[in-house]
Amino acid sequence: MLGSMSDPVPALARSLPKVELHCHLEGSARPATIVELAKKNGVALPVDDPTELFHFDDLNSFLAVYGIICQSLVTADDFRRITYEALEDAVADRVRYREMFFSPSFAMAYGVALETVWDGIRAGLAEAHADLDVRCRMVLDVDKGGAPSAATDLVAFAAQQDRDLIVGIGGDSTERGVDHSTFLPAYELAARQGLRRTMHAGEDGPAENIAISLDVLGCERIDHGVRLIDDPELMARVAEARIPLTVCPLSNVLIARMIDDVAEHPFARQREAGVLVTVNSDDPGMTGTTISDDYEHVARAFSYDLDTMEQLALDGIEACWAPDDEKAALRTRFLAEFDAGRADADMAVRGMS
């Protein structure tokens, strides 16, 4: 039996097939690649050692490092490379389907054209889809630290692209001092153009930002949503409507530093309240952790059994924006992989006894 060893679930959770819905392209870049690209593009970095590049103490100092990464990305080929590598790393963690954010405002602030960013990403996606066992759609993130009119321009660009490549829009960066309702024109345009809508909210801002994202901006998903726990009425509404939260437990420990340990995360309480919570990595290149680490930590922190961890993987499918037939195929594949994983684990246990 699986339960006969000292809890094997956290290790088994690592090898589950996964959907990932909250992961940033720029934050997924390998540190060694950023160091190489910075050198090639003549960008001075504060350090030479890739392992020392990604040091930060909170969300705002994290965003400063994020700026350095974006400064190092100049040509379309730079974006092609980090897109391909991000998906190569995803496959190593058994991510079968990903919706990945990209935040062009950062590179654009350094003079890179939006078309250059997008041409590179598109090439990286095409290559990854040809070579690798993963499907990825992009979500264009507007920068909440920037002007709402710039956000509307970005959405207008996204609206002209293939929906199979850009499936929706989101908003990231700081929540501090940001009135989320000012992004209404961008979100209205997205709705009219058939783009799906999400928003980083309730990460370093209050539950009120989640309410504004849902009720004013018409978001269909919430990224992070940690502070939803502070508003039981809103939480009941989110649970009832099956509005997914894309939760990034280790990121909340390592980047936002709102908690010291995953065990303090409201993830389990939100799930018990019926909220459709999913597990995601956020910025794996920058934190040095992967979605498998998040799965492992969640299993351990909340003593979840394998059934529950498998259900979390399936919840990722429910929460994603792939067409229905693609979701059904993912589900069939995941169930078969769960069975195969359990058979392997069972054999390993028997072999030891």
User: Looking at 26, 85, 175, 203, which residue is catalytic?
Assistant: 203
* Both tokens assigned to 275: 């909220």
Minimum distance between the CB of residue 66 and Zn ion, rounded to whole angstroms? 10
| Cα(208)–Cα(348) distance, integer angstroms | 49
- The question of whether 36 is a catalytic residue gets the answer no
Q: Which is nearer to Zn ion, 235 or 248 (CB)?
A: 248
Closer CB to Zn ion, 202 or 341, in the complex: 202
Closest by CA to 108, choosing from 64, 153, 138, is: 153
- Are 60 and 101 in contact, with CB atoms under 8 Å apart? no
Evaluate the CA torsion angle 105, 166, 72, 60 in order and state its sign. positive
Residue 162: what residue type?
D
- The least CB distance from residue 4 to Zn ion, in Å, is 39
CB of 257 to Zn ion, least distance (A): 14
Q: How far is the CB of 328 from Zn ion (least distance, A)?
A: 28
Query: What tokens appear for 73 in the block?
Result: 């990305």
62 or 79, CB closer to Zn ion?
Answer: 62
Residue nearest to Zn ion according to CB distances in the complex: 282
For Zn ion, which is the closer residue by CB, 71 or 251? 251
The least CB distance from residue 69 to Zn ion, in Å, is 14
Q: How far is the CB of 68 from Zn ion (least distance, A)?
A: 17
| Nearer of residues 175 and 282 to Zn ion, judged by Cβ | 282
Task: Return the structure tokens found at 181.
Answer: 């309702």
Contact 286, 54 (CB under 8 A): yes
Cβ proximity to Zn ion: between 9 and 121 the closer is 121
Residues in the site for Zn ion, rule: CB under 5 A? Answer: 282
Structure tokens at 336: 């078969």
Return d(Cα 72, Cα 38) in angstroms, integer.
5
Active site residues: 203
